[in-house]
Every structure is written in C-alpha cells, then in structure tokens.
Amino acid sequence: MTSDNGGSKAMKLLEERIKRDGIVKPGNVLKVDNFLNHQMDIALFNEMGREFKRLFADCKINKILTIEASGIGIACIVAQYFDVPVVFAKKAQSINIDGDVYSTKIQSFTHQRVYDVIVSKKYLNPEDHILIIDDFLANGCALEGLIDLVQSAGATVEGIGIAIEKGFQQGGKLIRDRGIRLESLAIVDSMEGGELIFREQ
C-alpha cells in the first residue's frame, strides 16, 4: 500500500499507540481499551478517519456500516470525512426497530456466543454503496455477517476499513480472497512472547 504523508502518519500513530498502550494477554488477545474500544482517543480517530477517506477516495460511498458497540465511534468520525450517515447493526432484537429487518448470525469468540444481528430494511437499500468500518479484524466473523446484511439488501460493499487486523489469523485472507477491498491501518503479524510485530505496509 502506498501512502502519502497523511497516510503514513495515521498508520504510524496507530502502531506507536498500540506499542505503547496495548496489552498482550494469553490466547492472542490484544487489549487496546484505553484508546480504541472503551476509552476513545478522538484525535487518533480523526487521523484514522482522514486516512480512510484518502484510501477510499475513488469509491462512490453513500453510507457507512458498522456493528455495535466498539465500531461506532470510529465509524462516526470516518463518516464526517465522507459526509454520509452511519448505520450500525444491532446485536439483539429491539422493540424500537419498526417493521422488517435484515438479519444474520455472528459468532463472537470474545464473548463465546452467537449473536442475532439486525439492521432495519429502512436503512439499507439496493442503491447503497457501503463502506464497512470496524475496530478489529481477527477471524472475520463480524465482517462476514455485515457483508451478508449488505448483500441481503442488494447493496454494494465498496470496501472495508479496519483499525487493527490480526494478520496471523484467517479473517483478512478470507475477506481478500472474496475479492473485497480491505484496508487495515495496522496489521499485527505476531504477538509471540508479548512482542508486537507489525506488517510493513
């Protein structure tokens, strides 16, 4: 991936933050909750949003799709750069969603359960060109579910933007093998012995 100064800045900032504040736990778990998915560093998110806009500038995107909860913060910042709305898939049936929904099942390895995930049919349409945004990519189950929702609506997945990809797990390869454009700002190739090794991009 070629990057101008803006691109390399976002990727470098994210990698440096992961090295500084990320915690490697047993079972290949990377804990980044003090800046990404519990407490959120909005200045960092802003740089990430700018980079996703640069990476997908050639795509006709009119909507951003993510999944609750940790993808929402990043997706909202990214959406400001594209000037489009954010739709987030809900992990449970909600009495506040009226009418028909698109639904799929997503297995969460983090929480050791399978979720029913839904999006109201009012917010995904055949004419939509979707950019999917999420914080993490490991085994790819969440992304496969979001792609399924988009395809159920007859809409188009223009691409997928991920903050942190675990390059040693299968998710990234599975998505790329489907011919879907996937851009990850930081790809961790190894966490052995608690040492983080990033892929050159």
The span from the CA of 75 to the CA of 85, in Å, is 9
- Give pLDDT, residue 148: 94
For the chain, what percent of residues have pLDDT higher than 90? 50
Domains of the chain: 5-198 (3.40.50.2020)
| pLDDT score for 2 | 36
Residue 71 has pLDDT above 80, yes or no: yes
The confidence band for 185, taking pLDDT boundaries of 50, 70 and 90, is very high
pLDDT tens digits, residue range 23-52? 788 877 888 787 777 777 888 889 999 999
Please work out, in degrees rounded to the nearest 5, the angle formed at the alpha carbon of residue 167 by the alpha carbons of 162 and 168. Answer: 145
Rounded Cα–Cα distance for residues 189 and 199 (Å)? 6
Token pair for 96: 């506040």
Q: How far, in Å, CA of 101 to CA of 133, rounded?
A: 20
Q: Answer yes or no: is pLDDT of 128 > 80.
A: yes
Write down the pTM of the prediction: 0.89
pLDDT for 99 = 65
**pLDDT tops 50 at residue 158:** yes
Per-residue confidence (pLDDT) for residue 1, from 0 to 100? 35
Contact predicate 113/136, CB 8 Å:
no
Q: Output the 3-class SS for 58-104.
A: CCCCCEEEEECCCCHHHHHHHHHHHCCCEEEEECCCCCCCCCCEEEE
Average pLDDT over residues 148-158: 96
CA distances for 50 relative to 13, 40, 98, 133, angstroms: 13, 16, 34, 13
For range 162-181, the mean pLDDT = 93
Instruction: Read off the DSSP letter of residue 131.
Output: E
Average pLDDT over residues 14-30: 82
